[in-house]
A and B are shown apart, each in its own frame.
Chain A
Amino acid sequence: MFVLPPPPRYPSQQGYNGMPAGQPVPMIETNNVLTNPAGPEYQFLVGEGLYVLKEDLHLATPPPHPSEAPVVNPNPLATAPQPATTGTRLSLINLDVSPLSPAFYRTTSRSDGAQASIQEHVEEGQSSSDVRESSSDAGRLNSSEAQLVTSNAPAFGEGNSLLAPTSQKDAHKRRKPKNNMAKSSSSFVSRVINHEALSKRLQERPRDGLFAFANVNRAFQWLDLSSQMKAEYLTKILFTKAHCLCHDVNKVTKSSTHIDVIMGFSTGEIIWWEPITQRYTRLNKNGIVNGTPVSEIRWIPGSENLFLAAHMDGTLVVYDKEKEDAIFTPEDEGTFRTNGETGGTSSVNYSSQIHVHKSVHSKNQKTNPVAVWKLCNHRINAFAFSPDNRHLAVVSEDGTLRIIDYLKEELLDLFYAYYGGLTCVCWSPDGKYVVTGGQDDLISIWCPSEQPPNTALIARGQGHHSWVTSVAFDPWRCDDRNYRFGSVGEDRRICLWDFSVGMLHRPRAASVRQRGSISSRPGFVPLQRADTSATAGTSGSGRLRSDSSLSAAGAVDGEKEKVLPHPVEPRATTATLPPVLSKIVDDDPLCWLGFTSDAMLTSCKTGHIRTWNRPTELTPQLEEKIDS
């Protein structure tokens, strides 16, 4: 039988990790490009006015490392898993005292905000401005004190004396990472390029200017968004092979002479980098603690040293930036090991608790990890700390949203996506609501404090045409009743959403209750505790209280009621929220969204950072709203 000759089965269409197909693989190092596209397609109208694209900063995708040329497998069916990568995401920081987000919400519903912390510091003999402004003095603050800076929620790990002393060795200077980046012989870091006038630029820049840290492919860039020459990075680091997937800047330790940046990599490794002195330390080297990629990383609010990393095997790990790594064996042999042996016949129940493989209260705190919590066996896609610094919202690939009291290392609540994985999460500025986005193309608004019979799911937002990749509240457009948040997705769209308690079709009683002060609300115990301890005022009592609550929690641990997962709400009974805006704002899937006082920023898979200026003139009502 004659058979037509088969066509070339696997046409070699090269693909470079992180680059969409069809785009040429860059062969040489190129520069960032700043453009100012204008025209009707680069602006969009919302109720408050016209958002206009200010600029598009395209971060150059670096060429593959010469020794690590990407293995191009022409066979699209190759079964070897691809290394993890991600699109460009940003960490923003300004060195100014004034916080990045507006303060109005802090005095309204979030009572444990900046004011409280300032009070504390007065009492402890250190003003918070000291901490932030004078770099030379900053070092005097030891870590346990620093943990109290932004919140009077008990500091994470408080009560474990083993955690405090480790960093007290040099009280005179803020400690820098060990290794010099530029002179490093590490094979992990391929190249470090500083701007030629780096120090000059640092000196001349406005003090309240915005720094941005951004990853693109195997590169990591430090940018000065307030500079005229913002396209020229301050520093660019090229890693040999690993891709930086996530990063965060420590808001507690920032100063003009010190910035703590933490990066999580596709190899599972973590780098603590201090850009001004160009020093770094590598943590979880070779994945000694956990070998799976880090999908999200954040400094624990208020902590100088501790940060939380989400590994892709469903583990949350707390690291101390200054501790050495050690091999990790789960300490809770009871639950973990028996499961391993019996091959799963005994229940590994991830829906009613988190498995604390190592507690922050463990007596063994000489080395990293500080704490290890196993949440599930699926990839954790994102997490967010609540504004009151007590809770953690974690979303993962298996479509779960977990609300965790991370101070007590307890699972408080578990919610499910409509279907598919959840990809991103954020808290409303007042800590009442959690917003998630997922692979069901939906935005879900949750109110974890809702008690049955009310459902925690407030509404679902339908407006994206593909998976949602990032959600963020716009604190400048939120007050205690009305909320504005934005979302971006793989559909290249940005959606803006407004909701207020009254707008959503909730039972009247419920919404009235929500409007009132949370502290009068009997429902959600942990949140309530946060409020009362906040109003208590002095740090002494706050600490005492938290200590007692911690020990109390320990005592009742055995009898604490089981967390019941909430059933999925059917579509028919759930309020649907339409977006106030849905617009395609890029040519590639978007990955990240952020708000600053004067702009909205989006970034995409291929490294475009777009800055959208807020409407210049405020309508009278809006001014009024913000003033009140």
Chain B
Amino acid sequence: MAGFFQKFKGAGSGTSKSDNTFAKNKKDEPQQDLTPVEKLLHNAGPIREDGSDKFFGLENFGNTCYCNSIVQALYHSEHFRTNVVNYPPPSPWDDPNSVKRKVNVTIRPPPQANGNAAGSGKPGQPPKPRQSFSGGQLAPSVGPTRPEDKPDSPEYKKKQAMIRGPVLELAQESTDPYGMEECTFTGLKDIFTALIDSQSRTGVLSPQRFLDIFKRNNEMFRNSMHQDAHEFYGIVLNDVIANVEANGKRMQELAESRRKDDPSQPAETLSKSDSTAATRAPGTGWVHDIFEGVLTSETRCLTCETASQRDETFLDLSIDLEEHSSVTSCLQQFSAEEMLCERNKFHCDHCGGLQEAEKRMKVKKLPKVLALHLKRFKYTEDYSRLQKLFHRVVYPYHLRLFNTTDDAEDPDRMYELYAVVVHIGGNAYHGHYVAVIKTKDRGWLLFDDEMVEPVDKSFVQNFFGDKPGMACAYVLFYQETTFEKVREELDAEGVDQMKMANPFPADLATSAELVNGTSPAPLSKLNTQPLPPVDENETLVGLEHVKSAPTELDVTSPIDALPPPLSSYEAHPLVAAPPPPSAVMTKADEAATVPPKSKEEIAREKKEQKAREKAEEKARKAAEKEQARVAAKKLQEAAQKIRETARLEREQLQKAIQESKQMAADEEKRNKKEATSGERPASSEGSGANGFLNRAGRTSKSMTRKSFAFLHIGQHNNSTSKEEDQGDSKADKTDRSEASDNRSDRGESSATEGNPSRDNDQPPPRQNGISSAKRNPSFTLPVRPPPRSDTAPGSVEQLRQDKQHKEKEKEKPPLKERFSFALGRKKSSRFLSPLS
């Protein structure tokens, strides 16, 4: 048991040293050269088209792990990946010869890296060496002084990953392959496409371009400081939504303009415009379909007993943590009844004025992907900074929501945990993020920047928060599944284990020294079982038999029991060989119990043992071969299946497009009537940024929603929110009530509840302002507190501190806001997105 895994691990650390300076220390088998991930994939069959077999690390450019972990989690959401890659659907006037796939190839491997993953491993110079990477220098030649020189350290593994390559880098100047302007979405799409198109299953991808684009649009990330992964996640999603919508809009306008240009061919244009509209109708809603859920907040006025309901959309839930609780319980708390009183009084329409009220929030529509943000960063007055909560919060592999409304569809929906973004560090300003992700059929993997490593299933539950090392789960991604799938999977886990377990005992037997080894086992790979520590000095134990056991030896000695099973191994070479007694132990036993043991006997035993070992070795190899064959076959079948489903999906998509074309045509007609006068000023400009202005009138408002939140941060109620904090330690609740609070501040009473049209009416002017402000940095800068924006990369720690000191007053509240961002966003969304 021990041995196999050890080799496994050894392989992990010894990776890619094909020059063999290092491989000496490891067991010398050729496959040792593989990294654990490669080993995991070594019989993976043909490359898949859906990208579910790509396990790339992402390069870190200094504190960009927040981005890496989130991008990995997004990539490994099958829904999201598929949709990103398939959007926008090819438009009809694109050159039919330019296959979509081809257009998307914007990757170039660095000159040194060779494309062969299992490769010759000439240490390639990473194109963008990080500080810690000393170019292509070989580590082993240097003494193990630096962390990255120790083969077991993550630093070493990351470095090896870079050296091993291939390092994919996206072209600096992304052209216009998707018919979209360069934006967060295209950046993300580039990454995804590059990974899917890669001929290697492993390697490192440099997300620099994506980050550049992202930072261009979000200036508070424009520094090299530690950032909040959850915040990043929220903004990326909102950006993607905005980009997609803007594009849909643009396509529509483009179609219109084309039609105008081409009055001579009414029939054709009509069909063309159909399809353009189609790109929007089926296309733009997909992000919402995946991540968006609906919360119903029910407020009951304690004065007049009137209950009012209001629906709000959310992209994730930020939940407060209690000590020694579970995610289930925290979610229940999230939906627990809450009193709106004192400063948070509720404006009741019925009896008029601010009243005390009871409020509770329940989930009405369950999202496909449920992102749970554990609020581990808490703003505390006495420390005047964000403290990290190390509460033990347990999270199960599967989840159902208890806090659903009575009319929710499928309230017992089963979710499975598929990704955990882990924050390591003592506070919100420092630390590291990694992602632990469940892959489609390769178990759980740890994505730590450049490094990718398969991990035991139980590893996932190492981040409850109470373990040493300050590593805590920070964002949990649950995706929808069904009970049947879960059962199937759990059973399959078992089968895999059996397969792995079978060759395993033999392995143990052949390498006797491994009995005493550190012993992680492949068996436990998918298992939840922790590893049994093995007694080191077993040999001594035999002595104890001297006193009491000798007479029994002939009857029950394990040695006597040996031959029969042994022969059965030979008869069934493919069968799992159970572990023969550890040679050391039995010998010692005998030596102790039957001192006058003849030499021949010992020799015979040795021989026997050798023979046994041989037989087992043989059996093991045969079994391995067989398994490899079977696995390959299975994979092929699976791939076939996937292709099949992909085809089906395509067909369905086509159908959907057809349908929507029809719908769009109708709409188009209507629009035409209204819009002929050029009702929307932006329509002629057609760019994403300007198209933005029109968003107020559109259905999905997430982006504006976000911008609203930004406004909130930047100019509005720095002081208010702080006060609120003092009043209510439960940040979440504060946030929630804030929404209503703000509303009342502005005289927007809750009369708007259940009246989306009115919701729409009120905020638009404001939204538009912010939206454009946000898109136009020069406009934005004065709005936002400066410190974040101009912390230039070159600034020194001290400078930063200075600034922080200076800006303390301004800085803190926004920070606090930042971490309760999702809810703020969620709340404000109410104004903006009438439910579809």
B-binding residues in A (CB < 8 A): 1-7, 9-11, 13-15, 20-21, 68, 72, 74-77, 79-85, 178-180, 184-188, 240-242, 266-269, 282, 285-288, 291-293, 312-314, 323-329, 333, 337, 339-345, 348-351, 366-367, 376-379, 397-399, 416, 418-421, 439-441, 462, 464-467, 490-492, 565, 567-568, 570-572, 589
**Count of CB-CB pairs between chains A and B under 8 Å:** 327
Task: Check B469–A379 contact: CB distance below 8 A.
Answer: no
Report which residue of B431, B466, B562 has the largest number of chain A beta carbons within 10 angstroms of its beta carbon: B466
- Are B328 and A379 in contact (CB-based, < 8 A)? no
Once the chains bind, are A340 and B574 in contact (CB under 8 Å)? yes
> Are A288 and B558 in contact, with the CB atoms below 8 A?
yes
B531 and A83 form a contact (CB under 8 A): yes
Q: Which 7 A-B pairs have the closest CB atoms?
A: A76-B469, A377-B494, A15-B468, A344-B495, A324-B556, A3-B62, A420-B396
A188 to B585, CA, bound (A): 13
Residue from B324, B414, B626 within 8 A of A466 (CB atoms): B324
Chain B residue numbers with a CB within 8 Å of A287 are 532, 534, 579
Q: A378-B490, A439-B396 are in contact. List 7 more A-B contacts (CB 8 A).
A: A14-B468, A75-B469, A77-B424, A178-B548, A187-B537, A242-B535, A343-B634
Taking A185-B540, A327-B578 as contacts, is the C-beta distance between A3 and B530 under 8 angstroms? no
Q: Does B582 contact A (CB under 8 A)?
A: yes
Shortest C-beta distance, A249 to chain B (Å), equals 23
Q: Give the one of A267, A313, A323 with max B CB within 10 A.
A: A313
In the assembled complex, B441 has its CB within 8 A of some CB on chain A: no
Docked-complex contact A11 and B533, CB < 8 angstroms? no
Bound form: Cα–Cα A14–B469 in Å: 8
Report yes or no: A340 in contact with B502, Cβ–Cβ below 8 A. Answer: yes
Interchain Cβ contacts under 8 Å between A and B, 6 examples? A4-B797, A75-B153, A185-B544, A324-B556, A378-B527, A420-B396
- With both chains docked as a complex, state the minimum distance between the C-beta of B103 and any C-beta of chain A, in angstroms: 31
Partner of B585, one of A242, A285, A292, A420: A285
Give Cα A572 to B408, complex, Å: 11
From A79, A187, A570, contact of B446 by CB (8 A): A79
Which one of A2, A3, A76, A241 lies within 8 Å of B533 (CB-CB)? A241
- Report yes or no: B491 in contact with A351, Cβ–Cβ below 8 A: yes
User: In the complex, what distance in Å separates the CA atom of A567 from the CA atom of B487?
Assistant: 11
Which residues of B are found within 8 Å of A85, using beta-carbon distances? Answer: 530
**Bound state CA distance, A416 and B487, in angstroms?**
10
Q: Which chain B residues border A293 with CB–CB below 8 Å?
A: 529-530, 532
Report the separation of the CA atoms of residues A339 and B543 in the bound assembly, to the nearest whole angstrom. 40
Given contacts A7-B431, A326-B561, A366-B561, contact A180 B547 (CB under 8 A): yes
Q: Is the CB of A286 within 8 A of B585?
A: yes
Residues in chain B near residue A441, CB distance under 8 A: 326, 328-329
Least CB distance, B327 to chain A, in whole angstroms: 9
Q: Are B426 and A572 neighbours in the complex by a CB distance under 8 Å?
A: no
Q: Say which residue of B399, B425, B631 sits within 8 Å of A7 (CB atoms).
A: B425
**Is the pair B329, A266 in contact by a Cβ cutoff of 8 Å?**
no
Are B494's CB and A314's CB within 8 A? yes
Nearest opposing residue in chain A for B427, CB measure: A7
A416 to B400, CA, bound (A): 14
Contact B396 A490 (CB under 8 A): no
Interface: B580 (CB within 8 A): yes
Select one of A5, A77, A340 contacting B471, CB under 8 A.
Answer: A77
The answer to whether A178 and B543 have CB atoms under 8 Å apart is: no
Q: Are A490 and B394 in touch, CB under 8 angstroms?
A: yes
Check B556 against A3 for contact (C-beta < 8 Å).
Answer: no
- B105 at interface by CB-CB < 8 Å: no
B387 within 8 A of A: no
User: In the bound complex, how far is the Cα of B131 from the Cα of A572, in angstroms?
Assistant: 57
Residue pair B540, A186 in contact (C-beta under 8 Å): yes
Interface membership of chain B positions 414-458, coded 1 if the CB is closer than 8 angstroms to chain A and 0 otherwise: 100000001011100011101000000000001010000101101
User: Interface on B for A, CB 8 Å cutoff?
Assistant: 1, 9, 61-63, 130-131, 153-154, 224-225, 322, 324-326, 328-329, 390, 392, 394, 396-400, 402, 411-412, 414, 422, 424-426, 430-432, 434, 446, 448, 453, 455-456, 458-459, 462-463, 466-471, 483, 487, 490-499, 501-502, 515, 518, 520, 523-524, 527-538, 540-541, 543-545, 547-549, 552, 555-558, 561-562, 565, 568, 572, 574-576, 578-582, 585, 623, 626-627, 630-631, 634, 793-794, 797, 800
Inter-chain contact A465/B324, CB cutoff 8 Å: yes
Partner of B556 from the list A84, A344, A366, A565 (CB cut-off 8 Å) is: A366
A376 and B537 form a contact (CB under 8 A): no
- Please give, as numbers and ranges, the residues of chain A lying within 8 Å of B545 by CB-CB distance: 178
- Whether A327 and B532, one on each chain, are in contact in the complex, defined by CB atoms closer than 8 angstroms, is no
The answer to whether A266 touches B533, judged by C-beta atoms less than 8 angstroms apart, is yes
Q: What is the minimal beta-carbon distance from B575 to any residue of chain A, in angstroms?
A: 5
CB atoms of B558 and A324 under 8 A apart: yes
- Give A452 to B543 CA distance when docked, in angstroms: 59
Query: Do the beta carbons of A179 and B548 come within 8 Å of each other?
Result: yes
The answer to whether B556 touches A340, judged by C-beta atoms less than 8 angstroms apart, is no
Least CB distance from B781 to A in Å reads: 22
Contact of A491 with B62 in the complex, beta carbons under 8 Å: no
List residues of chain A with CB within 8 A of the CB of B523. Answer: 313
Complex-state Cα separation, A68 to B793, whole angstroms: 47
Inter-chain contact A467/B540, CB cutoff 8 Å? no
Q: Given A291-B579, A350-B491, A465-B325, do A379 and B529 touch, yes or no (CB 8 Å)?
A: yes
Docked complex Cα distance between A114 and B362 (Å): 52
Contact B535 A267 (CB under 8 A): yes
Q: How far is the CA of A326 from the CA of B325 in the complex (A)?
A: 44
Q: Would A439 and B394 count as touching, CB distance under 8 A?
A: yes
On whether the beta carbons of B396 and A421 are closer than 8 Å, the reply is: yes
- The closest CB in chain A to the CB of B631 belongs to A343
From A21, A184, A348, contact of B467 by CB (8 A): A21
Complex interface: chain B residues within 8 A of A286 (CB): 515, 534-535, 538, 581-582, 585
Whether the Cβ atoms of A179 and B547 lie closer than 8 Å is yes
Q: Out of B411, B530, B534, which one reaches A82, CB within 8 Å? A: B530
Q: Is the CB of B154 within 8 A of A75?
A: yes
Q: How far is A337 from B498 in the complex, measured between Cα atoms in Å?
A: 10
- Given A286-B582, A324-B552, A351-B491, do A345 and B630 touch, yes or no (CB 8 Å)? yes
Contact assessment for B446 and A77 in the assembled complex, using a CB-CB cutoff below 8 Å: yes
Q: A79-B453, A367-B561 are known contacts. Are A420 and B325 too (CB-CB below 8 A)? A: no
Residue of A nearest to B12 (CB): A79
Instruction: Give the docked Cα–Cα distance between A567 and B482 (Å).
Output: 12
- A292 contacts B399, C-beta separation under 8 Å: no
Contacts of B580 in A (CB 8 A): 327
Query: Could you tell me if A351 and B487 are in contact, using CB atoms closer than 8 angstroms?
Result: yes
Given the interface pairs A343-B626, A419-B396, the reply to whether A492 lies near B324 with Cβ below 8 Å is: yes
**Across the interface, do A1 and B326 meet the contact criterion of CB distance under 8 Å?**
no
Q: Which residues of A contact B631 (CB under 8 A)?
A: 343
B residues less than 8 Å from A324 (CB atoms): 552, 555-558
Q: List, in ascending order, chain B residues with CB within 8 A of A466's CB.
A: 324-326, 329, 394
- Which of the residues A4, A82, A266 comes within 8 Å of B62, measured between beta carbons? A4
Interface residue from B469, B483, B520, B555 paired with A74 (Cβ < 8 Å): B469
The one of B498, B518, B530, B794 that contacts A377, using a Cβ cutoff of 8 Å: B498
Q: Decide: B562 and A81 in contact? CB cutoff 8 A.
A: no
Docked pose: A466 CA to B326 CA in angstroms: 5
Q: Which residues of A contact B487 (CB under 8 A)?
A: 351, 416, 565
Structural contact, A398 and B490, CB atoms closer than 8 A: yes
Alpha-carbon distance A399/B396, docked complex (angstroms)? 11
Kindly list chain A residues whose C-beta atoms are within 8 Å of the C-beta of B466: 20-21
Per the bound structure, the CA–CA distance linking A420 and B395 in Å amounts to 9
Task: Report whether A15 and B467 are in contact in the complex, using a CB–CB cutoff of 8 Å.
Answer: yes
Give CA–CA (A292, B463) in the complex, Å: 23
Say which residue of A15, A282, A377 sits within 8 Å of B469 (CB atoms).
A15
Q: How far is the CB of A257 from chain B (nearest CB, A)?
A: 19
Q: For A328, what are the chain B residues with a Cβ–Cβ distance below 8 Å? A: 578
Asked if A77 and B434 make an inter-chain contact with CB atoms under 8 angstroms apart, the answer reads: yes
- Complex formed: what's the CA distance from A416 to B397 in Å? 15
Given A15-B468, A178-B549, A187-B541, decide whether A327 and B527 contact each other with a Cβ distance below 8 A: no
CA distance A311 to B538 in the complex (A): 21
Find chain B residues with CB under 8 A from A75 CB: 153-154, 469
